[in-house]
Chains A and B, each alone.
Chain A
Amino acid sequence: MSKNFISNDIRKLRFFNDEMTQKELAEKVGVTRQTIVAIEKGNYSPSLELAFKIAEIFKQPIGEVFSYDSSAATKKSNK
Chain B
Amino acid sequence: MSYQERRSIINILSSLLIFGGYAYYVFQINGEENMLLIKDFTFWAKYILILIPVSIVSKIIVYIIFAIVNAIATREEMPSITDERDKLIELKSERVTHYLFLFGFLMAMVVLLTDWPQYYMFIVLIGMGLVSEVIGEITKFYYYRKGV
Interface residues of A (CB under 8 A from B): 1, 4, 30-35, 37-38, 41-44, 46-47, 50
Known: A1-B148, A43-B148. A34 touches B2 (CB 8 A): yes
Task: With CB as the reference atom, state the residue of chain A lying closest to B2.
Answer: A34
B83 at the interface (CB under 8 A from A): yes
Beyond A31-B81, A32-B81, list 6 extra A-B contacts (CB 8 Å).
A30-B81, A32-B85, A32-B86, A43-B147, A46-B84, A47-B84
Task: With CB as the reference atom, state the residue of chain A lying closest to B81.
Answer: A32
Task: With CB as the reference atom, state the residue of chain A lying closest to B85.
Answer: A35
| Contact assessment for A1 and B147 in the assembled complex, using a CB-CB cutoff below 8 Å | yes
| Contact assessment for B147 and A31 in the assembled complex, using a CB-CB cutoff below 8 Å | no
| CA distance in complex: A43, B3 (Å) | 17
| Contact assessment for B146 and A31 in the assembled complex, using a CB-CB cutoff below 8 Å | no
Q: Tell me which of A34, A42, A44 contacts B4 (CB under 8 A).
A: A34
Closest 10 CB pairs of A and B: A43-B147, A31-B83, A32-B79, A35-B85, A34-B2, A1-B146, A35-B83, A32-B83, A47-B84, A44-B85
Pick 8 A–B contacts, CB within 8 A, sort by A: A1-B146, A1-B148, A31-B81, A32-B81, A32-B85, A34-B85, A35-B83, A35-B85
- A contact face: mostly helix, strand, loop, or mixed: loop
- Residues in chain A near residue B148, CB distance under 8 A: 1, 43-44
Task: With CB as the reference atom, state the residue of chain A lying closest to B80.
Answer: A32
Distance between A34 CB and nearest chain B CB, rounded to angstroms: 5
- Residues in chain B near residue A42, CB distance under 8 A: 147
Task: With CB as the reference atom, state the residue of chain B lying closest to A39.
Answer: B85
Known: A1-B148, A38-B147. A31 touches B84 (CB 8 A): yes
Distance between B81 CB and nearest chain A CB, rounded to angstroms: 6
Instruction: List B residues 30-62 near A (Cβ within 8 Å).
Output: none
